[in-house]
Amino acid sequence: MSDAKAHVTDLIFGRWRSQTLYAGVELGVFDVVGDHPTHAVEIADLLDIDRGYGYRLLRALGSLGLLSETSDRRFSLTPAGELLQEDHPESLQAVALLEEGPTHYAMWKHLPDIVREGGPNGRQREFGYTGLDHLEADPEYAARFHDSMTSLSRMESAWVEVLLSEVGVSGFDHVCDVGGGHGHLLCTLLQDVPDVEGTVLELPSVVDAEDQHWHERMGVSDRVTFVAGDFFEEVPPADAYLLKHILHDWTDEECVEILSTIRESAPVDARLFVCELVVPGPGHSHLAKLMDVHMMVSANGRERTESEYVDLFETADFEHVETHQVEGVPMSAVEALAV
Ligand SMILES: C[S@@+](CC[C@H](N)C(=O)[O-])C[C@H]1O[C@@H](n2cnc3c(N)ncnc32)[C@H](O)[C@@H]1O
C-alpha cells in the first residue's frame, strides 16, 4: 500500500480504534485486568459480559497495544493500558469516557451540517443546549465533564508549570484561576510557593463538590479558596489570573465580556495567563486545529491564533506581553498585562 493510501485508511478507521478503547473503559476492562495474565473467561465473568464477545473485544484491545495476550487467551495490562485504570495517578479514563461516550459521539455526527450551514453546534442540534449551560442542566454529564477536565489537567498542569517556569508565580500575592474546575492547576502552581494565595472561581455546582477539590490533597488548603460565581458578572481581585481552556468555549464578543469582567477587578499591571492550544500557521499539524473542530461541534467558541488573542486583549484593556511556548508542549500560555 502506498504511504498516502495507508495514511487515509488509517484515518478512516480511527473511530474503530477509539470506540474499541471506549468500550473497554466503559465495561471496566482496565480496572479488572492486572499485571498478571488472567484468562479471558475469568475476565468476562468478573465483568459480567458475554464470554465469546468479551474475548473478541480483549483481543482487539490487545491489537491496539492496550493489553498483552498470551497464546492461551490470558491478558495483562500494558503500560498504555495502565493509563486507562481509574486509580492511575495520570489516568486518562475520564477523558475516554467523555470524548468517546454517547453524548459527544452524538454531537459529532452533525459536523457536515454544522460546517455547511455555519452552525448551530452539535450540542444544540442534538440536546438543545447552546454550550456549557449543559453542565448546570445535566448533573450526570457535568460529573463526567469535570472528571475529564481534571484528568486532562494532570497532564496540562505540568505543561503550564513548564511554560511559566521563567515567569513563575512566586512574585504574585494572589492568583485567581477563572473557571478553574476542581483546582488542579492552581494547587499545582501554588504547592511550592508558600507566600502566594489563590482563588478558584467556578460555578456553584463545582464549588459545592468539595470532595473533588485538590487543595487538601496537595497540601494548600490554608491558601486556596473556592468561590462560587459567574465570570460574566464578577471575579475576585488578584494580581495574576489564569484562564485555561476558558476563552476557547466562547465567541469573540463573549471573550471580551469575560476579559472586561476580569479587568474590572484587576489592578493596573496585573497579569493574565491564557493557557490554550494556540493555532499555528499553515503547514503545521497541530492538535489545536482539531480541537477547533471539536469547538464547532460542542460549543460556540473556537481555537485562536496568537494575533486573535492579541486583538481580544486590546479590546478589553489588556496588552500582550509574550506567548510562552516550549518545544514538545502543545499548549501555550499567552501572557497579557492590565493597562
Ligand atoms: C472547559 S472547562 C475548563 C476547566 C479548567 N480551567 C481546566 O482547564 O481544566 C470550563 C470551565 O468553566 C466553568 N464555567 C463555565 N461557565 C462559567 C461561568 N459563567 N462562571 C464561572 N465558571 C464557569 C465550567 O464549570 C468549567 O469548569
- Could you tell me which of 306, 281, 302 has the C-alpha nearest to residue 290? 302
What pLDDT score was predicted for residue 269?
A: 96
193-240 tens-digit pLDDT: 999 999 999 999 999 999 999 999 999 999 999 999 999 999 999 999
Cα 261 to ligand 1 centre (Å): 15
Q: Rounded to the nearest 10 degrees, how much is the dihedral formed by the CA atoms of 259, 288, 154, 165?
A: -70
What pLDDT score was predicted for residue 1?
A: 79
Q: Which protein residue's CA is at the shortest distance from atom 23 of ligand 1?
A: 179
Q: Which protein residue's CA is at the shortest distance from atom 9 of ligand 1?
A: 149
Ligand 1 residue neighbourhood (C-beta within 6 Å): 132, 135, 149, 153, 179-181, 201-203, 206, 230-232, 244-246, 249
CATH 3.40.50.150 residue window(s) in the chain: 102-338
| Catalytic residue flag (residue 248) | yes
Query: How far apart are the C-alpha atoms of 56 and 64, rounded to whole Å?
Result: 13
- Could you tell me which of 271, 270, 288 has the C-alpha nearest to residue 279? 288
Sole residue written with cell 492511575: 88
Residue 289: how many CA atoms within 13 Å on its side-chain side? 7
Regions of the chain where pLDDT drops below 50: none
Residues 6+ apart with CB under 8 A from 228: 202, 203, 204, 207, 208
Nearest atom in ligand 1 to the alpha carbon of residue 177 is: 6
- Its CATH architecture, for the domain 102-338, is 3-Layer(aba) Sandwich (3.40)
Q: Which one is catalytic: 110, 248, 294, 320? A: 248
What is the side-by-side order of every strand in the sheet holding 38-39? 38-39, 74-77, 67-69
CATH 1.10.10.10 residue window(s) in the chain: 3-84
- Could you tell me which of 66, 243, 249 has the C-alpha nearest to residue 156? 243
What pLDDT score was predicted for residue 95?
A: 97
3-84 has which CATH code?
A: 1.10.10.10
Could you tell me if 240 and 176 are in contact, meaning their C-beta atoms sit under 8 angstroms apart?
A: yes
